[in-house]
Amino acid sequence: MKVGNVVDELLRNFFGSFEFADYAQTEEGIEKLFNGWTTESDGRAYKEIFKGNIEPFKNLIHDLQNQYDYYTKTLKWKLSTLPFTWRAKFNELGWVAGQTDMIGVDKEGKVHIIDFKTSKYTFWNAYPPNIQLTSTYQSDLGILTEDDFYTDSGRLSRKARNVLRAIKNDNKNSKIDLEWQNGRAVVVNKIRPFVSLPNVQYGQQLSSYEDYSNQLTAYAEMIKAEGFDVASIEILPIKVQYDYEFTEAGNGLNSATLEPRVFLTFSSKMLNILDGIESRDYQAL
């Protein structure tokens, strides 16, 4: 059983199960969920999945409660985690189907697609080091200390800014910065891997941002085919740490942390691929 399936089920229960949500309102109720609620996708109680450590489970529940309050009280959305499978037949492509994790409906009746994503990597990556420039300017960077990065003003110190300016000028490259990583000053490229870089280790040709944008744009087009107005697409990301053999006895999640929402843009590439619809259908499983 994949870690993502267990986390997805937890989020579906939290946002969609009245019984689960009621328990989550109190510390006593959270303890009952932790000790006694058995997951359908894994067959173990959350106590087993989190290896007997209630703190990461409790922290996740509290973060989800804050997110739920924001969706329902601030944005005033109505949420649904019913597993709708949307289907539509597109010109030149044939039938396409997809299942939404959660949808929100705002006061104007517009739909917002919210997809749950789980990864052992943060969705808000630190900028990746520029190994070549860090090596080239090792002596210049070596005069900097941690205090040059964590100043009262929140900016780099004057000394660090001077070093950065010199490196930028030498290389005619404005898309670099300095960060303190692993106990030393490094030059970093000002890009976020989640947005800009494919994970070639797992055979990705697109960045995760592009991949998810394509997926949720397809969902949006199928929902629009039913006459609904889809206003936005986003992911609700969970960063996890877990034992490699997740389902083995004694193994499980070390932590599961809700990260800030990631807003996606509708993919023009996917809109071109899905251009023209022949027929449509949806099914609530």
Provide mean pLDDT across the span 43-53.
92
Fold classified for 3-122+196-284: Lambda Exonuclease; Chain A (3.90.320)
Q: Which residue has the higher pLDDT, 255 or 96?
A: 255
Quote the CA–CA distance of 205 and 266 in Å, as a whole number: 19
- Cα 138 → chain centroid: 35
Residue ranges of the domains in the chain? 3-122+196-284, 131-191
Q: Is the dihedral of CA 123, 124, 130, 131 positive or negative?
A: negative
Contact call for residues 262 and 237 (beta carbons, < 8 A) = yes
**H and E: helices and strands count for the chain:** 11, 11
Contact call for residues 163 and 178 (beta carbons, < 8 A) = yes
**SS3 label, residue 12:** helix
pLDDT tens column, 79-112:
999 988 887 777 666 777 889 999 999 999 999 9
pLDDT tens column, 31-47:
999 999 988 888 889 99
Q: Which residues pair with 115 in a beta bridge?
A: 235
pLDDT at 281 over 50: no
Question: How many CA atoms does the CB half-sphere of 71 hold within 13 Å?
Answer: 23
Question: 1-30 b/e with 16+ CB inside 10 Å = b?
Answer: eebeebbbebbbbbbbeeebbebbeeeeeb
pLDDT at 283 over 50: no
The two most distant CA atoms of the chain are separated, in Å, by 66
- Using alpha carbons only, how large is the chain's radius of gyration in Å? 23
